[in-house]
Amino acid sequence: MWTRALLKANAKTVLRRSYWRVFLMCLIASLLAGDIDLNFNLVNTQINYQTTVEQASRLVGVLALVVVLVASLCWGILFSPVIRVGQCRYLIQNRAGEVGLGTLFSGFTSSYWNTVSGMFYANLRIFLFTLLLVIPGIIKAYQYTFVPYLLAENPDMEPARAAEISTLMTDGEKWNIFVLDLSFLGWNILGSLLFGIGTLFVTPYYSATQAELYAAMRAKVLASGYVTEAELSGQIF
């Protein structure tokens, strides 16, 4: 049985020997992809290009906006999720020892299209549930929390199977995971007081804690017999 205190204590132990490496990895991942998956921010995109549209002709403005939206969509489907999976792979491996920064980009050379399709499957379902109501979308997002970790550990896992296992992992745990996320609110508020820069230093702590949570949920589904070691043989825990 996991507790917030235990996960955070384990994360701190890992970070004592690797904080700055994890910080650099998270910073690069944020710069390259951030949290942009399928749900890219159309509002910001429109605002950023509003001046250009007003100054240029309407046709050129519309074409420019279309190009940006298409590029954003491609980026959010073909690039950002792969970085996310690479980030999870780095965090998983970092629990056992030093990891090379190149692991962040490993998704581009290891079962790339399956990784893309797996993340697209999860993000699309989250997006569709969000269209219904915000709360179902949030619940679905927590339900699929571990999809990138599962794909990081087994890049060849079928998208539906990754979603199925993540659903089992979070069964009866979604509220506890939400409270765990909520426990970082104070740190993020404190970090935001420094023009948002401080939150960058909180990210490694949060990310390492999430990796510890995945390890706990991984043990849970293995113990249930629903998932075998053969499916999750990518890393050593």
Residue 44: pLDDT over 50: no
Give CB contacts under 8 A, 24+ apart, made by 233-237: 233/153, 233/154, 234/152, 234/153, 234/154, 234/155, 235/89, 235/92, 235/93, 235/96, 235/153, 236/96, 237/95, 237/96
CA-based max dimension of the chain: 63
Give the integer Cα–Cα distance in Å for 200 and 227. 35
> Residues 147-166: pLDDT tens digits?
999 999 999 999 999 999 99
Residue 104's CB is within 10 A of a number of other CB atoms, namely 25
Give the integer Cα–Cα distance in Å for 15 and 10. 9
pLDDT given at position 34: 57
**Mean pLDDT for the chain overall:** 86
Q: How far is CA 189 from CA 177, 185, 196, 201, 206, in A?
A: 19, 6, 9, 12, 14
**What does the block give as tokens for 48?**
């950023």
pLDDT given at position 49: 45
Give the integer Cα–Cα distance in Å for 220 and 237. 13
75-95 mean pLDDT: 93
Q: Which comes out higher in pLDDT, residue 56 or 30? A: 30
* The model's pTM: 0.83
Query: Could you tell me the pLDDT band of residue 39, with boundaries at 50, 70 and 90?
Result: very low
Asked whether the beta carbons of 218 and 237 are under 8 A apart, the reply is: yes
